[in-house]
Amino acid sequence: MKLSKMPSRSKIIGHFRQGKWLGRAKEVVANPKELSSLLHQVEAKSDGGGRWQELKEQIHLLTQLVRDWYQGIYSQVDKRSLIFIVGGLLYFVVPFDLVPDWIIALGFFDDAAVIAFIIQQVQGEIDRYKEWKEEQDQIIPLLEEEGK
């Protein structure tokens, strides 16, 4: 695929929104075994290679949010936002999407566009999660200190 034939961001987002991703995300959210498997796949794919660091960090944050929800640690996420996030993570791990991942350098472009779109759509949820996570990181040392 030539760079001049790369789909636009709007075409990528349209493909994501109209595709199977959100319907499949609802199924995955309802199935703990599948959700756990997805999180492992996302981690494996995002840990590999020297790809874009900022995208890796964003994917890691989304994965943490979903994992904390899945484990019952964090429950403040809106179900619609959760499904949107899981849909984006599914898009990220499936190698045959709008631009297949095996196309060197370009195959990752549509994944990055979808993840950026997801983050833009659920930024409020992400901000709340970050605040909650920071509070937890401050509380846990205090509780450990009290237990000594």
Q: Is residue 108 part of a domain?
A: yes
Whole-structure pTM value: 0.75
Is 3 domain-assigned?
no
In a domain, 1, yes or no: no
Distance CA 107, CA 112 (A): 9
Amino acid 101: pLDDT: 58
Residue 18 placed within a domain? yes
Give the span between the Cα atoms of 88 and 22, in whole angstroms.
8
pLDDT at residue number 96: 67
pLDDT given at position 104: 63
**Per-position pLDDT tens, the chain of length 148:** 444 466 777 877 777 777 777 888 999 999 999 999 999 988 887 776 555 677 888 899 999 999 999 999 999 999 999 999 999 998 888 776 555 656 666 667 777 888 899 999 999 999 999 999 988 887 655 555 555 5
77 within some domain: yes
Residue among 64, 83, 68, 81 nearest 123 (CA): 81
Q: How far apart are CA 139 and CA 28, in angstroms?
A: 32
Tell me what pLDDT residue 2 has.
Answer: 44
| Residue 20: per-residue pLDDT | 79
C-alpha to C-alpha distance for 102 and 118, rounded to whole angstroms: 23
| Total number of domains in the chain | 1
Query: Domain of 56?
Result: 8-146
Give the per-residue pLDDT at 1: 43
- The per-residue pLDDT for 98 is 58
